[in-house]
């Protein structure tokens, strides 16, 4: 199967005053459809920078990123939103929900961005919320939801529009252990069910069981190849 | 589409209330200022505008209706001799002091003319008859004068600059620029009241042209009369209004207050919209991250600005009517709010809010979507 994501020789260098910081250095990796890849590593190891570049939110200093066969590293600012809408769903550590909207409306916004509006967007949003187990919470203000529920809304939003790639940054960091496991379990099972690739950045060793591959980053580089091959 | 713009606005009701209060304040301040200015201008040329004379003849270099020097009344005959002129009337405008029942005095503006028919602002008297001005020392006062002169009615007597006059009629809605009561009298009565207008002098000569007369030719002929200025009614009205606007600083004062009103509104709206944008910047960054184009986010801010502009304007307009009413009752200066001014204010309010949103738009333009990853 062709890889959905192909990263080659990815570098990111920041300038902090006179000092140059190489946040990511020479990273290469591939992620196939339906595959769940965990990126682990200590704070400041470059995990989030890597996922930001794959998510087309940050431009690499050097290297290549191909998503769905399309080179995206050199695309202009104006072209990137369309790439993100077409290919990528994001799940964030702090959920980043619209506090003034209900759970359903948060998901609906993602449909709206993809040109699906009105009752159709509402119906499909409710469907996805049901898939993440929030059918009864759809009309709740997102501010009133628990942390686990908020993250499930975030996952539902990421799934809206059926993007082939999910990028999750520390999705369990603000959740208790049981809730974190439940959220990742649901996200990865839904992703596998729908044939989506998942790149999951985390500190949390308890979620490694849900991954097909675990990669470790240190000082901006992937170390020792795949840390753990898929057990299933 | 999920109405993100409005939901964000409505989410923080206190901030929204502050924003609307700012716009309302701005709208009220500007509309009331402009309305008072228009009222004062209207009052300044009221008698000119409501007269049906085609031509006003004044002393040389007369700058406005209220400060006009008297001139030789025989000029009226020179005006009458112009072939295009159908009718000529003399009009005295001078000042006197009315003695109050309390023993004090109040300045009054005396308008003396020959009341051959009900005309201009004196068409509809509240009581009495305009033609009674022909009776010796009969005068008409406006009902608004009671605020200054105390209670009076038809048949009452009062003393004006040492002359006893009799109230023969009461008008309504006639206010002078200076807010001094206006006292209408016959030409003869006005001449009897001691004033700078000497016997044999007049202050204005009003002329009516014949039907079909060549207006330009008539004016050219009249302008050959020495030592007087000849104005059309419109030109004299404009001259009077421009005098009060530019020569007295009144116009500049109103302009400054209007500008300040808009500036205050803009600062308040800008500040609250910016604070809201800062509070929701993570949400805007999230929108960018999940694929929103910049223009969609600008659209949210513009819709927010337009929404608060329209809502603030509506509240402001309603409040303006209330304030105008209270102001009129307190001062007898009734604010004028013509529809074009209200429409212009609506446009100004929307522009003001749009301008105020620019700082938020700029903030969003440079917003780093990477903040979505920050804890």
| End residue of a domain, out of B174, B193, B226 | B226
Answer yes or no: is B50 within a domain.
no
Contact flag A112-B2 (C-beta cutoff 8 Å): yes
Answer yes or no: is B108 within a domain.
yes
Distance CA B142, CA B133 (A): 14
Entry pTM: 0.79
User: Is residue B73's pLDDT more than 50?
Assistant: yes
pLDDT over 70 for what percent of chain B?
98
Residues B106 and B152 in one domain: yes
Average pLDDT, chain B: 90
Answer yes or no: is B235 within a domain.
no
Tell me the shortest Cα–Cα distance from B335 to chain A, in angstroms: 42
User: Is residue A231's pLDDT more than 60?
Assistant: no
Contact flag B372-A101 (C-beta cutoff 8 Å): no
Answer yes or no: is B208 within a domain.
yes
Kindly indicate the confidence band of residue B119, based on its pLDDT and cuts at 50, 70 and 90: low
Residues B210 and B67 in one domain: yes
Give the number of domains in chain B: 2
Residues B340 and B209 in one domain: no
Residues B258 and B196 in one domain: no
- Per-residue confidence (pLDDT) for residue B96, from 0 to 100: 93
Tell me the shortest Cα–Cα distance from B361 to chain A, in angstroms: 17
| Residue among B7, B290, B296 minimizing CB distance to A110 | B290
Mean pLDDT over residues B135-146, rounded? 91
ipTM of the complex model:
0.90
pLDDT over 70 for what percent of chain A?
96
Q: Are the C-beta atoms of residues B159 and B99 closer than 8 Å to each other?
A: yes
Answer yes or no: is B239 within a domain.
no
Smallest CA–CA distance from B12 into chain A, residue: A100
Answer yes or no: is B242 within a domain.
no
Residues B177 and B309 in one domain: no
User: Is residue B306's pLDDT more than 90?
Assistant: yes
User: Is residue B115's pLDDT more than 80?
Assistant: no
DSSP conformational letter for B210: P
Residues B294 and B177 in one domain: no
Residues B310 and B350 in one domain: yes
Residues of B at the A interface, defined by Cβ within 8 angstroms = 1-2, 4, 7-8, 10-11, 282-283, 285-293, 296, 369-370, 372-375
Q: What DSSP string runs through A40-97? A: E--TTSSHHHHHHHHTTSS--SEEEEEETTEE-TT--TTTHHHHHHHHEEEE-TT---
Answer yes or no: is B52 within a domain.
no
Residues B146 and B71 in one domain: yes
A168 contacts in B (CB within 8 Å)? none
Range of the domain at B192: 61-226
- Per-residue confidence (pLDDT) for residue A194, from 0 to 100: 87
Residues B210 and B346 in one domain: no
- Per-residue confidence (pLDDT) for residue A224, from 0 to 100: 64
Answer yes or no: is B137 within a domain.
yes
Residues B39 and B66 in one domain: no
Residues B91 and B221 in one domain: yes
Kindly indicate the confidence band of residue A229, based on its pLDDT and cuts at 50, 70 and 90: very low
Average pLDDT, chain A: 90
Task: Please compute, for residue B345, the number of CA atoms within 13 A of its CA located in the half-sphere on the CB side.
Answer: 29
Contact flag A173-B292 (C-beta cutoff 8 Å): no
Residues B288 and B314 in one domain: yes
pLDDT over 90 for what percent of chain A?
71
């Amino acid at each position: 199967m062709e890889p959905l994501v192909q990263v080659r020789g990815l570098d990111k260098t920041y300038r902090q005053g006179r000092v140059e910081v190489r946040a990511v250095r020479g990273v290469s990796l591939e992620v196939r459809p339906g595959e769940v890849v965990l990126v682990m590593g200590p704070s400041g190891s470059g995990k989030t920078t890597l996922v930001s570049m794959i998510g087309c939110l940050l431009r690499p200093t050097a290297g290549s990123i191909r998503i769905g066969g399309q080179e995206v590293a050199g695309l202009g600012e104006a072209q990137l939103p369309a790439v993100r809408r077409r290919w990528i769903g994001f799940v964030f550590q702090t959920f980043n929900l619209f506090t003034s909207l209900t759970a359903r409306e948060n998901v609906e916004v993602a449909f709206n961005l993809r040109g699906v509006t009105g009752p159709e967007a509402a119906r499909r949003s409710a469907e996805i919320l049901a898939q993440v187990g929030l059918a009864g919470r759809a009309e709740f203000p997102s501010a009133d939801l628990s942390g686990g529920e908020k993250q499930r809304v975030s996952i539902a939003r990421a799934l809206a529009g059926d993007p082939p790639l999910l990028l999750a940054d520390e999705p369990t960091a603000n959740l208790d252990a049981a809730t974190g496991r439940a959220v990742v379990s649901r996200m990865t099972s839904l992703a596998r069910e729908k044939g989506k690739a998942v790149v999951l950045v985390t500190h949390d060793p308890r979620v490694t069981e849900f991954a097909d591959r675990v990669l470790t980053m240190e000082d901006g580089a992937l170390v020792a190849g795949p840390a753990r091959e898929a057990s299933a | 589409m999920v109405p993100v713009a409005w939901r964000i606005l409505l989410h923080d009701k206190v901030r929204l209330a502050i924003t609307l209060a700012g716009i309302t304040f701005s709208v009220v301040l500007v509309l009331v200022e402009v309305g008072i200015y228009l009222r004062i201008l209207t009052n300044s040329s009221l008698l000119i505008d409501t007269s049906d004379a085609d031509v006003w003849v004044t002393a040389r270099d007369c700058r406005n209706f209220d400060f006009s020097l008297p001139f030789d009344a025989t000029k009226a005959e020179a005006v009458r001799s112009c072939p295009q002129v159908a009718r000529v009337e003399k009009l005295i405008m001078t000042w006197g002091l009315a003695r109050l029942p309390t023993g004090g005095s109040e300045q009054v503006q005396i308008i003396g003319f020959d009341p051959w028919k009900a005309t201009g602002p004196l068409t509809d008297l509240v009581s009495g008859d305009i033609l009674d001005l022909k009776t010796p020392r009969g005068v008409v006062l406006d009902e608004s004068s009671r605020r200054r002169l105390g209670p009076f009615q038809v048949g009452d007597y009062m003393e004006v600059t040492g002359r006893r006059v009799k109230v023969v009629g009461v008008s309504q809605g006639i206010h002078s620029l200076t807010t001094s009561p206006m006292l209408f009298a016959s030409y003869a009565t006005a001449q009897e009241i001691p004033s700078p207008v000497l016997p044999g002098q007049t202050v204005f000569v009003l002329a009516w042209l014949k039907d079909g007369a060549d207006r330009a030719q008539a004016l050219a002929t009249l302008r050959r009369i020495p030592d007087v200025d000849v104005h059309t009614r419109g030109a004299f009205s404009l001259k009077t209004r421009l005098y009060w606007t530019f020569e007295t600083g009144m116009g500049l004062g109103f302009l400054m207050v209007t500008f300040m009103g808009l500036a205050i509104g803009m600062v308040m709206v800008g500040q609250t919209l910016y604070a809201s944008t800062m509070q929701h910047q993570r949400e805007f960054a999230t929108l960018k991250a999940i694929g929103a184009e910049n223009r969609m986010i600008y659209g949210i801010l513009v819709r927010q600005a337009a929404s608060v502009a329209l809502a603030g304007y509506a509240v402001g307009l309603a409040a303006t009517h209330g304030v105008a009413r209270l102001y009129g009752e307190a001062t007898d200066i009734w604010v004028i709010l013509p529809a074009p001014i209200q429409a212009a204010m609506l446009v100004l309010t929307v522009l003001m809010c749009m301008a105020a949103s620019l700082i938020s738009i700029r903030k969003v333009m440079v917003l780093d979507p990477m903040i979505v990853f920050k804890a």
